[in-house]
A and B are shown apart, each in its own frame.
Chain A
């Protein structure tokens, strides 16, 4: 045997060994693929719950930023002066993902997750037609919720609505704000027949925050509650009352009745997300705006402040931050005492106040006061409203109650005072500047959204 033959045999043997060891098709070992055609029950369930988790991504952040923009809270974060700078003095930076450019990517990601699920749900032969419908109604409702967050944060006419398609395609066209609201309403209204035809149960288990609303029939009430909120925002007061009638609104007797609602769950459990707003109120970075104390009304005893203030904020050592002038606060938040504290998406207390607002919008301040008094007495421990019952006075009283009932829960002050052009009522402790603190009417459209166009 010549050396050549020996060598070539060796080479061939080595190549064979190498080749045999090589399987060059390697699947992604780290995460599952996105949901595809004909998903089984567990894939549908995972994707449905995933949609809820995607929706959760922005909930706490929205509560915090909304509280900064609506002057309920300060955040003295030594690592990032933008909480007292950019978010309060501006300029809002559309290129900063966590500040001016926020409350955009997360809701749209949830909308896309819903689209992925909706695209294949019809092929899920493992599910009954009713179950498929239930999933559709659920997904459409959450899509509406997410698009509403985008609209709450952005009042410009630059809101993409036909979104969540092929990422290699050009971005969705920009629609007007009104068109986007119309889309929210379509999604909510379209979900109702889907849920109604959705059978007795969802093909997945909703977490504790949806207790009482975890079947298609009860989930509709959550859908209608959102519909009432949108109607009020669009000054469709009659529509709001109709939607409220189909929602879970309940005339309260105890504070617990006011808490009835749909909540987003947080947990310190494995793989879960602890509530990022939970903090030790003595040392945490999130502070209450002392104006909330100044403006709080007195309880019936004439001494104690509004119970809603007392149960959500506690005194702490004075801290200050900000440049060139400082903001000061000695109030720490206890609204979310534990990493397991849920954040409300919508609750009965808001529905009562939405009914008041709708009645007021229908020029019926007397009916509005009735509902306001329910909240004042049961939630705030305040005496019944004793002021003049005219449109302007009752509106001011309504806004006060929305502020104290819904503070730190999702930008309610910012949105409500903004809608009536009354944000000046919130600027009592603002720094005169330069640069002066400013209550911004809207966040800018993110740079990343406009650059590719």
Chain B
């Protein structure tokens, strides 16, 4: 069969079917079958031709169609497709479309340029549309996705403004390879690099026994504007993502931005106001008597002078208690003529941070244009520019006493750290008292330290689609995509010499000026041929193409120490050092895929293969092959109560790259007394490095029942990852500390995903959709070809991850042995969307059960005998005593949480009210109250169970060291359409 299809692929001299010369005008109306309201922007296509019409805002349409018996195909986004036969004599037609609550007809992208309807989909591909994405305002895309994708663990690394999230799909897919999913926006692969901000020059965090960066970097997917996104599809692993080849093991997130549609210009403006407030505090020990204070802080003179019974200060409130005004303005206009469609949007956003001098500002512009050039050629040009500035203060681990939550544990709450004239206009560093108990006064630090991250990002994609052939039976399309994603990140980190801690290193004042840029250049081309057997007949879709990608990350950092007052440039600093890092990568891949719909569109069979080579492999000339196979079958009304039942199974392979440089065993260069030298680097590379290979099997059942009121999907999967890249800790006597190499080790993940969607009420006045998801995953290292080793953390006694055969990949070890596991037992989410007349209420609850966290912040408070519960039974004193006896367990804690992620209550004003308030030019008006992360229930003792001192990591997350505290946010919004 496949040969026959390839045969037709080659037979291209079939005549293009042209519309008949005779024309008649057809009029009609498309309505929502549930409410009877007219449906705007529905399309009416004449089958077998290129003739397409569109409804206006009232649902009416006019179409010029040829004579003869016609088949009209009527589609509306979010509605089930309907085919209507139109006899030669008929000139008017009314169509009522059923809402497609379960998105069965949504086309899901399954190849580089092809897709199948969800009802036939052989994989559990999660999709999130614009409505779900923007239920409540989100700073960055990932927070808008939390709780919406079964199979994904999406967690913030801290509460700092401006992002820093990790999205991991279906458990641990690597130990030392890349951890990021592949982000594809409008056909081009974009960067999600996380570039450190340079804080390490002050915090010296990497000097403390763990060389990983702890700057709390932002991964750059934060630059996307969630409001511009029409749809996100998440391919979770090998079986769905094989066509993306050697970079797809961590999943592929396919993002499609909004496009214009034919019609008059439609303006939408939404204005939001709100604020954020801190969501949690740790508190500290209250000293009831001077004697008690002196038992901990033995500097008698200082303590006696400062201590006053009953006096205490809340440092956390003083730094993190800000509730500045946040606002966001989104405006867009879209529309177009028959040949030209446009979508243009702008965003201005300012999020005030909860801490002094922190916050996140973003401005974005996007123009998406589509132009028909005639002869079946269409070009689409998407351009976007984003600028963001974030100021994130200092947080996470340090070795210089600068992070607030590393200072508070050793500072009693009876000392006043605030400036005497705290409300003065022009505060000076000298206005703040010295913290006599620690090296810094965090209030002073946050007032004067600058940690600005300024990012400009430009993305441009040009897509050329050439419909060579379009007939009732055959269509042949070619698509070429060229695109560039470029960003420049400037970090300006200035720690003035007057800060209390600054003279400690003998070089008062530190400035770190970083400039980093990243260029992703993409070029891809593919051809797709579709043969349709007519009606319910078979359909063959064949596609093939290639994809070339070039990336170049170039990061530089200039560090200046020993500054004069007011000096902000490293140029004149008494001591200077420079860091630079270049990461060039080139990849080329070829792919081919065949999708066949048979048996009255009930049976789908898919096969595909991808071949990839890359400059980051040991043998850059070698192609690695990644095959896939999938099938699904739909049973229509198999038994009572069940509308449709689909069985599906899929198998596929993907790869995962080593981090840049794994190929090399770099030397280190440094200078002594003006002479430079090179010596052995810590890490040995592997000249034969190759991508990891994931094999994934996935099977599942999708069922809709109760007359389209309920949908259940169940998915089970197993993924085996072989050729694991390992960073083996070497016996240090070898002279190097670790070595990265392609090993023969294997890792397995097994898991289940389920989702149940109910639409119990669907009437003209009430519409209620309830959705719940479930996800559980277990990983196991099935073969480890190196001896058991430990990675991450700071020391065995402070909790570390131990990799050993036949054990979970995320087990946490302490002095006494195994003390926990970072993998959650399961995750669930619950969402409700209720429309009641003009009101809409939506909320989302995200629940994670289990998953342990190493709480070193509490360890520090306990070590300072300053934790809030220090003297309580079983409190800090008991924990630290147990720790002293050689137990890590007290600080490895359950990270379960239940969070109310999103709440949205909105009211759609009636046309009359709208006109009365805003004038008749305004088409629609809505006011909303929204909130994010409003409620939280957790047994965890720390600030937030979403925490990662080391940022995005394959395994060594869930380490809590002085993070930026979490916040909740509230917004009031007005949305106008005209």
- The stretch among B698-706, B727-735, B891-899 that forms the contact with chain A is B727-735
Picked from B207, B469, B731, B815, the residue with its CB within 8 Å of the CB of A448 is B731
Q: How far is the CA of A435 from the CA of B684 in the complex (A)?
A: 41
The answer, yes or no, to whether B299 is at the interface (CB within 8 Å) is yes
Q: How far is the CA of A280 from the CA of B737 in the complex (A)?
A: 33
The answer, yes or no, to whether B546 is at the interface (CB within 8 Å) is yes
The answer to whether B398 and A79 have CB atoms under 8 Å apart is yes
Chain A residues near B789 (CB-CB < 8 A): 448, 451-452
The answer to whether B795 and A317 have CB atoms under 8 Å apart is no
The answer to whether A96 and B795 have CB atoms under 8 Å apart is yes
The answer, yes or no, to whether A48 is at the interface (CB within 8 Å) is yes
The answer, yes or no, to whether B707 is at the interface (CB within 8 Å) is no
- The stretch among A19-27, A297-305, A347-355 that forms the contact with chain B is A19-27
The answer to whether A320 and B620 have CB atoms under 8 Å apart is no
From residue 159 to 216 of chain A, which have CB atoms closer than 8 A to chain B? 160, 163-165, 167-168, 171-172, 204-209
Chain B residues near A78 (CB-CB < 8 A): 401, 406-407, 409-410, 438-439, 864
Interface flags for A75-100 (1: CB within 8 Å of B; 0: not) read 00111111001100101011111111
The answer, yes or no, to whether A256 is at the interface (CB within 8 Å) is no
The answer, yes or no, to whether B500 is at the interface (CB within 8 Å) is yes
The answer, yes or no, to whether B468 is at the interface (CB within 8 Å) is yes
B854 to chain A, nearest CB (A): 14
Contacts A164-B734, A451-B789 given: A279-B795 contact, CB under 8 Å?
Answer: no
The answer, yes or no, to whether B301 is at the interface (CB within 8 Å) is yes
The answer to whether A28 and B679 have CB atoms under 8 Å apart is no
Please give me the residue from chain A that is nearest to B884 by CB atom: A435
The answer to whether B736 and A285 have CB atoms under 8 Å apart is no
Picked from A7, A24, A168, the residue with its CB within 8 Å of the CB of B620 is A24
Chain A residues near B673 (CB-CB < 8 A): 207-209, 265, 267, 272
The answer, yes or no, to whether B131 is at the interface (CB within 8 Å) is no
Interface flags for B649-686 (1: CB within 8 Å of A; 0: not) read 00000000000010111111111111111111110100
The answer, yes or no, to whether B436 is at the interface (CB within 8 Å) is yes
The answer to whether A451 and B729 have CB atoms under 8 Å apart is yes
The answer to whether B661 and A96 have CB atoms under 8 Å apart is no
Interface flags for B567-587 (1: CB within 8 Å of A; 0: not) read 000000011111011111110
The answer to whether A207 and B438 have CB atoms under 8 Å apart is no
Instruction: Tally the A-B contacts, defined by beta carbons under 8 Å.
Output: 344
B208 to chain A, nearest CB (A): 6
Q: How far is the CA of A124 from the CA of B740 in the complex (A)?
A: 30
Chain A residues near B760 (CB-CB < 8 A): none
The answer to whether B399 and A171 have CB atoms under 8 Å apart is no
Number of interface residues of B (CB under 8 A): 121
The answer, yes or no, to whether B472 is at the interface (CB within 8 Å) is no
A321 to chain B, nearest CB (A): 7
The answer to whether A24 and B614 have CB atoms under 8 Å apart is yes
Q: How far is the CA of A165 from the CA of B733 in the complex (A)?
A: 10
Picked from A31, A113, A271, A449, the residue with its CB within 8 Å of the CB of B732 is A449
Q: How far is the CA of A352 from the CA of B704 in the complex (A)?
A: 92
The answer to whether A4 and B10 have CB atoms under 8 Å apart is yes
A264 to chain B, nearest CB (A): 8
The answer, yes or no, to whether B749 is at the interface (CB within 8 Å) is no
- The stretch among A32-40, A63-71, A409-417 that forms the contact with chain B is A32-40
- The stretch among A103-111, A227-235, A365-373 that forms the contact with chain B is A103-111
The answer, yes or no, to whether A323 is at the interface (CB within 8 Å) is yes
B499 to chain A, nearest CB (A): 11
The answer to whether A79 and B397 have CB atoms under 8 Å apart is yes
Interface flags for B308-348 (1: CB within 8 Å of A; 0: not) read 00000000000000000000000000000000000000000
The answer to whether A96 and B797 have CB atoms under 8 Å apart is yes
The residue among B10, B13, B586 with the most chain A CB atoms within 10 A of its own CB is B586
The answer, yes or no, to whether B919 is at the interface (CB within 8 Å) is no
Interface flags for B1-24 (1: CB within 8 Å of A; 0: not) read 000000000101100000000000
The answer to whether A22 and B548 have CB atoms under 8 Å apart is yes
Interface flags for B518-533 (1: CB within 8 Å of A; 0: not) read 0000010101000000
The answer to whether A280 and B503 have CB atoms under 8 Å apart is yes
Chain B residues near A276 (CB-CB < 8 A): 505
The answer, yes or no, to whether A278 is at the interface (CB within 8 Å) is yes
Chain B residues near A89 (CB-CB < 8 A): 884
Q: How far is the CA of A283 from the CA of B733 in the complex (A)?
A: 37
The answer, yes or no, to whether A432 is at the interface (CB within 8 Å) is no
Contacts A285-B439, A452-B786 given: A14-B614 contact, CB under 8 Å?
Answer: no
Chain B residues near A314 (CB-CB < 8 A): none
Chain B residues near A265 (CB-CB < 8 A): 672-673
Chain A residues near B862 (CB-CB < 8 A): 323
Q: How far is the CA of A23 from the CA of B552 in the complex (A)?
A: 14
Chain A residues near B676 (CB-CB < 8 A): 46, 49, 271
The answer, yes or no, to whether B143 is at the interface (CB within 8 Å) is no
The answer to whether B795 and A207 have CB atoms under 8 Å apart is no
Please give me the residue from chain B that is nearest to A29 by CB atom: B582
The answer to whether B795 and A93 have CB atoms under 8 Å apart is yes
Q: How far is the CA of A15 from the CA of B546 in the complex (A)?
A: 8
Q: How far is the CA of A145 from the CA of B540 in the complex (A)?
A: 74
Q: How far is the CA of A272 from the CA of B507 in the complex (A)?
A: 14
The answer to whether A270 and B578 have CB atoms under 8 Å apart is yes
The answer, yes or no, to whether B478 is at the interface (CB within 8 Å) is yes
The answer to whether B796 and A95 have CB atoms under 8 Å apart is yes
The answer to whether B615 and A24 have CB atoms under 8 Å apart is yes
From residue 845 to 903 of chain B, which have CB atoms closer than 8 A to chain A? 860, 862-865, 877, 880-881, 884, 886
The answer to whether A323 and B864 have CB atoms under 8 Å apart is yes
Chain A residues near B561 (CB-CB < 8 A): 268, 274
The answer to whether A108 and B666 have CB atoms under 8 Å apart is no
Please give me the residue from chain A that is nearest to B796 by CB atom: A95
Chain A residues near B621 (CB-CB < 8 A): 24
Interface flags for B583-603 (1: CB within 8 Å of A; 0: not) read 111101000000000000000
The answer, yes or no, to whether B400 is at the interface (CB within 8 Å) is yes
Q: How far is the CA of A395 from the CA of B500 in the complex (A)?
A: 45
Chain B residues near A85 (CB-CB < 8 A): 863, 884
A211 to chain B, nearest CB (A): 10
Contacts A52-B677, A112-B735 given: A271-B575 contact, CB under 8 Å?
Answer: no
The answer, yes or no, to whether B562 is at the interface (CB within 8 Å) is yes
The answer, yes or no, to whether B910 is at the interface (CB within 8 Å) is no
The answer, yes or no, to whether A53 is at the interface (CB within 8 Å) is yes
The answer, yes or no, to whether A56 is at the interface (CB within 8 Å) is yes
A13 to chain B, nearest CB (A): 10
The answer to whether A326 and B298 have CB atoms under 8 Å apart is yes
Chain A residues near B535 (CB-CB < 8 A): none
B65 to chain A, nearest CB (A): 27
The answer to whether A274 and B208 have CB atoms under 8 Å apart is no
The answer, yes or no, to whether B836 is at the interface (CB within 8 Å) is no
From residue 766 to 788 of chain B, which have CB atoms closer than 8 A to chain A? 786-788
The answer, yes or no, to whether A148 is at the interface (CB within 8 Å) is no
Chain B residues near A280 (CB-CB < 8 A): 503-504, 506
Interface flags for A317-328 (1: CB within 8 Å of B; 0: not) read 111110110101
Please give me the residue from chain A that is nearest to B402 by CB atom: A79
Q: How far is the CA of A285 from the CA of B663 in the complex (A)?
A: 40
Picked from B298, B403, B406, B731, the residue with its CB within 8 Å of the CB of A320 is B298
The answer to whether A96 and B794 have CB atoms under 8 Å apart is yes
Contacts A78-B401, A97-B795, A109-B680 given: A34-B667 contact, CB under 8 Å?
Answer: yes
Contacts A11-B525, A46-B678 given: A270-B732 contact, CB under 8 Å?
Answer: no
5 new A-B contacts at CB < 8 Å, known A50-B679, A79-B401, A91-B886: A24-B588, A81-B864, A271-B676, A272-B673, A280-B503
Interface residues of B (CB under 8 A from A): 10, 12-13, 207-210, 296-302, 397-401, 403, 406-407, 409-410, 436, 438-439, 468-469, 476, 478, 480, 500-501, 503-507, 523, 525, 527, 546, 548, 550, 561-562, 574-578, 580-586, 588, 613-616, 620-621, 661, 663-682, 684, 729-737, 739, 741, 786-790, 794-798, 800, 815, 860, 862-865, 877, 880-881, 884, 886
Provide a sorted-by-A list of 9 A–B residue pairs whose CB atoms are within 8 angstroms.
A2-B12, A50-B678, A52-B677, A94-B796, A99-B795, A108-B734, A109-B732, A265-B673, A323-B863
Cβ-closest 3 pairs across A and B = A112-B735, A207-B673, A49-B677
